[in-house]
Chain A
């Protein structure tokens, strides 16, 4: 079955990225389609939508969205994309995303591109759209059964979890090195803790950047992108399998913000162009402050970010700013708080604008252990996020939980 992803876009053909979009879709077994519209449809749709952009292609996007909302055109998922730095398109992109969500049950992802976009950057997003459509029943799974393992091969760390009868019985993590070696090491440690052997494990689920390599190596039953797997892990750990929630995962290389309804993602954003909005920024800050990153959070909670003003947010100049502030005699606590605040603010500005934040907010991933960052995310969003126990293991837990669906 080929999944039809309806593309609502402006500028892709003239930016030389249309081919890359279609390539990404094809590689996950999907096909890009455009809902049919006539000139009369455009007039009517724009009037009904109520936002009348000057650019004709944006009007066409609106008309295409209306076709989907009215079920006049059959698609399985929606990809909304426009040129980076175009204000008019950014407004339409976000409002159309909201319109699609209000009027359909189709999963949506939005993206703003530059001419440098490559298919690989879209792969995880496209794969997640396809997963949501094709694995609805699997994603609805709320309990883990049997004895299963989850492996999460991330850009910074590799995690393993062993689960039995809906409980975590073993877990371990290590900084990522060689994909297979790191995973083997954490899996062995987790198995030792659980008192089980590899032959006892009934199914393995892999996720993260190294998922395909690990999937092949361990003969995994489930090899799935981290957007859907992490959100399952997050709602399981936070015991929020029903109703709505927003999951925020500030990773080492990219951030994910996912909204879920009954544990199934329906909209997500994934950022990865700015180190200033990632866990890497906090790692670098700690290194410059000559402290361990695990100490940063507690320090930050004692400080006040307003005392250490930063003029830049990027990982080069922003950290230089912090060092200068230290030189001026500001406290370590204030500087640590400023670093956490900066990351929280950047995640908010760069990503959370693209989704409608639903409550509660569940913060997960390794960086959720940095309490100062969670505090600052709470301050920026006006609501303190829930950090479930074992929050750094979401991917591995999701992998173990979902792979038990294959038993």
Chain B
């Protein structure tokens, strides 16, 4: 199944989703699709004005362009996802180096879709990590 991960660029979440047999939907995949498009020359990410305008599907014009541009990338993946894993209360440097408002909206969009979503806590020691991995594994193995 396709599992959206949040933070969308997390190595740990990407690795665990794949390790336990599912397809992670990540920021990297969305950006790869952009950067591999040879017809667009808008470095570094090839995000175009059209993309930002497409972001209007998720947020109105009064919302800053950076948020709409981000949602234009993550939004379609959330639309496509069968499930999601969200890591709550992670330190700021863990996660997409970006915009907190966009991050809040991503969490809300997952909730609005009503797909199975697992909220996990950022582990701070070995024992918490065991719980985190075990919980993630149970969730992923339980996805049909």
Contact = CB atoms under 8 A, between A and B. Distances in A.
**Is any CB of A less than 8 Å from a CB of B in the complex?**
yes
Nearest to A18: B44
A114 B65 contact: yes
A54 B53 contact: no
Contacts of A311: none
Find the residue from B49, B95, B96 having the highest chain A CB count within 10 A. B49
B67 to A, nearest CB: 7
A159 to B, nearest CB: 37
Nearest to B92: A56
B98 interface: yes
Interface string B43-76: 1110111011100000000111111111001000
B99 interface: yes
Nearest to B93: A39
Contacts of B69: 11, 13-16, 115
B98 A18 contact: no
Contacts of A115: 49, 52-53, 65, 68-69
Contacts of B48: 16
Contacts of A85: 62-64
A56 B70 CA distance: 14
A19 B42 contact: yes
Contacts of B98: 14, 55-57
A363 to B, nearest CB: 33
Contacts of B96: 56
A13 B45 contact: yes
A246 to B, nearest CB: 29
Interface residues of B, number: 30
Between B42, B62, B92, the greatest number of chain A beta carbons within 10 A of the residue's beta carbon is seen for: B92
B49 A16 contact: yes
Interface in A84-132: 84-86, 88-89, 113-116
A83 B98 CA distance: 12
Interface in A23-75: 39, 42, 53-57, 59-60
Given A56-B97, A57-B99, A15 B92 contact: no
B47 A56 contact: no
Given A56-B100, A84-B64, A14 B95 contact: no
B49 A14 contact: no
A115 B45 CA distance: 14
B45 to A, nearest CB: 5
A369 interface: no
Interface residues of A, number: 31
Given A13-B45, A19-B43, A116-B49, A56 B93 contact: yes
Contact of A42 (B44, B68, B93): B93
Nearest to A116: B49
B61 to A, nearest CB: 9
Contacts of A39: 93
A337 interface: no
A60 B96 CA distance: 12
Interface string B24-47: 000000000000000001111101
Interface string A143-160: 000000000000000000
A377 interface: no
Most B CB contacts (10 A, CB to CB) among A14, A59, A85 go to: A14
A13 B46 CA distance: 8
Contacts of B41: 19
B6 to A, nearest CB: 14
A12 to B, nearest CB: 8
Nearest to A22: B43
A285 B92 CA distance: 51
B45 A14 contact: yes
A18 B46 CA distance: 10
A57 B97 contact: yes
A56 B99 CA distance: 6
B19 interface: no
A10 B93 contact: no
A113 B95 contact: no
A16 B73 CA distance: 12
B111 interface: no
B93 A83 contact: no
A29 to B, nearest CB: 19
Closest CB pairs A-B (n = 7):
A11-B66, A14-B69, A83-B64, A15-B65, A54-B100, A115-B65, A115-B52
Given A16-B42, A55-B101, 8 more contacts: A14-B69, A15-B52, A15-B64, A18-B42, A18-B45, A56-B100, A85-B63, A115-B69
21 contacts: A11-B65, A13-B44, A14-B45, A14-B47, A14-B66, A14-B99, A15-B65, A15-B66, A15-B68, A16-B48, A18-B42, A18-B44, A19-B42, A19-B43, A54-B100, A56-B95, A57-B97, A83-B67, A86-B66, A115-B52, A115-B68
